[in-house]
Amino acid sequence: MRYVVQLNDERKTVSIDSDGLRYEEGPAISAELADIEGSPVRMVKLGVHVYRVVVERRQGKGKYSLWIDGYRFDTEALDERTRAIRDLSAANAGPTGPAPIIAPMPGLIVSVNVNPGDRVAAGQGIVVMEAMKMENELRSTAAGTVKSVEVVPGTAVEKGALLVALE
């Protein structure tokens, strides 16, 4: 069985068969896994090397956090077929990154709290607009950088108008 393992931001293939474990296209090595009773620690023996590993399952198929010798590694291990399907799905997904700030209704821009080039955090107030005698603060949905500001205070906008572009 071949697996595609993503360790932090790097992908590697691991094959497991009757000869043992192969990392990338290297030689087969023996592999053993043992639980330590009453402990979250597992002993992993790869060839002649022994590692103490704490494994925590994360949300999502094949996702784990591993603690090895005091270092944390976020990993995802999927069989080749599942990895290929997930990659194809991601390629067909919509745009990523922070969504632009769009007017949710017609109104009047009261203030713009950012300038092009500013870094913004998720949930940060970007624009205040008045609609139906109420002020509404429009916030960033994700962290990013202000690409452009399309409005100034006092501008009347229609629903769906681009107010601030983020990247």
pLDDT digits (tens, 9 = 90+) for 152-164: 999 999 999 999 9
> Of 97, 83, 19, which Cα lies nearest the Cα of 75?
83
Per-position DSSP letters for 68-105, written without gaps between them:
ETTEEEEEEEEEHHHHHHHHHHHHTS---SPPPEE-SS
Assign domain 2-91 one CATH number from 3.30.420.40, 3.40.50.150, 3.30.700.30, 3.60.20.10: 3.30.700.30
Question: Residue 98: phi, psi to the nearest 5?
Answer: -70, 140
**Residue 166 reports pLDDT greater than 70:** yes
**Residue 66 reports pLDDT greater than 80:** yes
Q: Which amino acid is at 13?
A: T
- What local confidence, expressed as pLDDT, does residue 145 receive? 93
pLDDT band at residue 110, thresholds of 50, 70 and 90? very high
The yes or no reply on domain 101-166 and CATH 2.40.50.100 is yes
For the chain, percent of residues with pLDDT exceeding 90? 39
Residue span(s) of the chain under CATH 2.40.50.100 come to: 101-166
In the predicted model, what is the mean pLDDT of the chain? Answer: 88
pTM over 0.85: no
> Of 112, 120, 117, 113, which Cα lies nearest the Cα of 152?
112
Residue span(s) of the chain under CATH 3.30.700.30 come to: 2-91
Q: How is residue 88 written in tokens? A: 């194809």
* Whole-Å CA distances, 52 to 3, 36, 44, 62, 158: 22, 10, 6, 20, 60
Q: How is residue 118 written in tokens? A: 């500013």
